[in-house]
Amino acid sequence: MRNILLTALFLASSFSITVDEATGWEYDQSTLQAFYMLEILTIDGQVADSEDVVGAFFDGICVGFINADPNGYTTVPLMGNDGGDYDYLNVGEVPDLFVYDASNGSILPIVPASELAGWAINEIFTIDGTSTASNTFGCTDDSACNYDSDATADDDSCLYNDCFGECGGSAVVDDCGVCNGENADQDCAGECFGDASEDCAGVCNGAAYVDNCGECDDDSSNDDLSCSGCTDSCADNYDDSATIEDDSCEYSVDAIDDLVAASGPSRVILSWTAPSSVCGVTSYNVYDTGDAFVKETSSTSTQIVGLDAGVEYCFTVKAVTDDAESDFSNEACATPEASEGLSWGLNLSAEINGWGSFIETDDANKLGVSPAASYGYDGAFDAPEPPAGGSGNWVSLYFPHPEWGNQWGDNFTQDVVLEDDEFFQSNLTVWPVEVLSNMSGQTTVTFEHIQTPIEVPMFVEVVQGDGDSDPLVSEITDGSSVSFFLSQGIPQKLNVVIGNRPPTVSSDALNAEGGDRSISLNWAESDGRYGAESYSIYREGANDVVGLVSASYIDNEDREGHEGQGLLYESTWSYELTASNAAGESTDGYSIRTSGGDQENIDGTSSSSSATTDDNLDPIAVLSHIQSVDGTNLGSGQYEIPHNGSADANSITISIDGSGSDDADEFDN
């Protein structure tokens, strides 16, 4: 049977060179042959296909091959050495078996199911069982950055350097020659590094623009119309949707319709209800019957004093805001009553321990107010001081008024001025006092209330020497006193000061210091006799800050609509500081009026300062060079262009990376 099979195999041979086109393997037919018959052959666990080729090699020489048979034995011819042109197998020599894996294009060694027998003339060797061959999978493209020289079959894992030189990276050179540029350098017309741009309507090189209301079109005639209007919330026609002021605001204040007048001693007492207004009424102006201005007040009641008893007086009132004044109120009339004596005041008594042995007093001296009196001489109220002297010891306290030129002398034992509560609440009245004796000794001046004085500060100043140095100041309460040494024949001067006034703010009190998107403010406190109860900061470009009780404030309120940003870097802001107490705000000013009628008007005070926020730190640019994918990289930023030997232009792609750049400013990242 074996000989019949051999005869059949030999007859199938044409004794010519056999070549496999897929592998290039070839062998010449020999007159001496043998065969290996492989029962089953698998490649990577799968039965070999008929397109796969099994070859036998000895010392690198193909001694036979045949296509695999997936349905039966694969019979591999083995050429023997018959003395011809090829040095084929000799008896006992064992060839190596390989298979060409057509699906992967790889040539793999075969691991036979059993040990191969040595060649013998006309022998057929059956290899029962499963012979195997296995690929090593990996990247087989030697141009890939992850090329695997050991791989026999490609598994689609090949990676390639992108334009940044990153293996497997996705960056590509765009149409403008920029690595990973994604054509961002193309303008809207598609030109690389061109200057064409889309307008707000999306038209390339169009003429439309966004106005201050955020509206986009190319019509200048309607600019800013959609958001213009009255932006003052105090106006009657306030538009809360408007962001641009068009000077259309209209203001009004309702007129007072319930003015009531009541009679009092030498006075008319007016009262009314505050009218409605979008924003609060700041003050009221009082007018007489002839519409002549009488006074201004911030209260809803006031007194018109110094009027003649028995004469009817009529008044009207207008309400005033920061932007408007109302019409006249209803007219209200009243007839003042007769005034009797002082409404309130102080009794001053002086006592001296002359020479340390003789006690003398002067205890009938009065100062005060009356609705029928005036600042200056009033015969009904200002009583001359009786002459002092004689042979006995004496002490005299009086109110000196040589400016009156009175026939009864220059000194008065009673000094009364006009009762005007509103004046005392915001201004000062000063009564000059002198104490004189024909003895030297420790002297005391005591103050006692007459009726109940108005609730305003009261102080006595004891003048030192010729008044070149600061006086000694003491607060006056009921029964309080001051003491000093009185020299014989030399008057001791005192000043009684009654009233309140706004605080004084030094012009250099406010200090502003710029910081990181903020400005720190601090100031010298307004203290003393008429100290501040609170402070206000008027800010440029922002709402005012009022009611501050500490002497510092940090301004970090954004002015540009960027929440949490704070003030802009390198921006300069101005501030004004004022102080307030019950008498008013420091900018109001006040008056100092003497009981004799002289008056000094003191201007209001405030302090201004400005500062600039910290500099906006310059960003730091950090650039690094990326390896060129098509040039020769000599070093960081050094490249060589490969030349192809022809006259055409030679170019390479050069890229840089700026991802290491930084801006230390928090909101500039």
Helix (H, G, I), strand (E, B) or coil at 611: strand
Whether 398 and 271 share a structural domain: no
Average pLDDT over residues 397-402: 97
What's the pLDDT band for 340 if we cut at 50, 70, 90? confident
Q: What is the pLDDT of residue 649?
A: 62
The mean predicted confidence, pLDDT, of the chain is 90
The answer to whether residue 217 sits within a structural domain is yes
Instruction: Tell me the CATH number at 579.
Output: 2.60.40
Q: Which percentage of the chain shows pLDDT scores above 90?
A: 68
Instruction: Tell me the CATH number at 280.
Output: 2.60.40.10
Q: What is the pLDDT of residue 278?
A: 65
Highest mean pLDDT among 171-180, 448-457, 612-621: 448-457
Side-chain-facing half-sphere of 365: CA atoms under 13 Å = 27
- Judged against a pLDDT cut of 70, whether residue 645 lies above it is answered with no
Q: What is the pLDDT of residue 132?
A: 97
Whether 485 and 604 share a structural domain: no
The answer to whether residue 476 sits within a structural domain is yes
Do the Cβ atoms of 394 and 388 come closer than 8 Å? yes
Distances 504 to 157, 206, 244, 582, 588 between C-alpha atoms, Å: 84, 61, 38, 13, 10
pTM over 0.75: no
What's the pLDDT band for 53 if we cut at 50, 70, 90? very high
Average pLDDT over residues 488-503: 97
Lookup result for tokens 């005299």? 396
Determine the Cα–Cα distance for residues 343 and 266; give it in Å rounded to an integer: 11
- Judged against a pLDDT cut of 80, whether residue 341 lies above it is answered with yes
Sign of CA dihedral 469, 474, 476, 479: negative
Q: What is the pLDDT of residue 3?
A: 40
Range of the domain at 63: 2-137
Write the DSSP symbol of residue 510. Answer: E
- Judged against a pLDDT cut of 80, whether residue 185 lies above it is answered with yes
What's the pLDDT band for 624 if we cut at 50, 70, 90? confident
Whether 451 and 322 share a structural domain: no
β-bridge partners, 397: 435
Provide the H-helix boundaries in 74-222: none
Whether 471 and 442 share a structural domain: yes
Q: What is the pLDDT of residue 653?
A: 77
Determine the Cα–Cα distance for residues 285 and 320; give it in Å rounded to an integer: 7
Task: Indicate the residue among 612, 627, 648 that finishes a domain.
Answer: 612
What's the pLDDT band for 628 if we cut at 50, 70, 90? confident
Q: What is the pLDDT of residue 355?
A: 96
Do the Cβ atoms of 395 and 352 come closer than 8 Å? yes
Q: What is the pLDDT of residue 429?
A: 98
Could you write out the DSSP letters of every residue in 158-174?
---B-TT--BT----B-
For residue 632, the one-letter residue type is T
The answer to whether residue 518 sits within a structural domain is yes
The answer to whether residue 273 sits within a structural domain is yes
Q: What is the pLDDT of residue 650?
A: 67
Structure tokens at 497: 């000061």
Lookup result for tokens 């002359």? 354
Determine the Cα–Cα distance for residues 91 and 629; give it in Å rounded to an integer: 57
What's the pLDDT band for 644 if we cut at 50, 70, 90? low
- Judged against a pLDDT cut of 70, whether residue 9 lies above it is answered with no
Q: What is the pLDDT of residue 148?
A: 93
Determine the Cα–Cα distance for residues 222 and 214; give it in Å rounded to an integer: 12
Average pLDDT over residues 354-367: 95
Domain count along the chain: 5
Lookup result for tokens 């802001």? 573
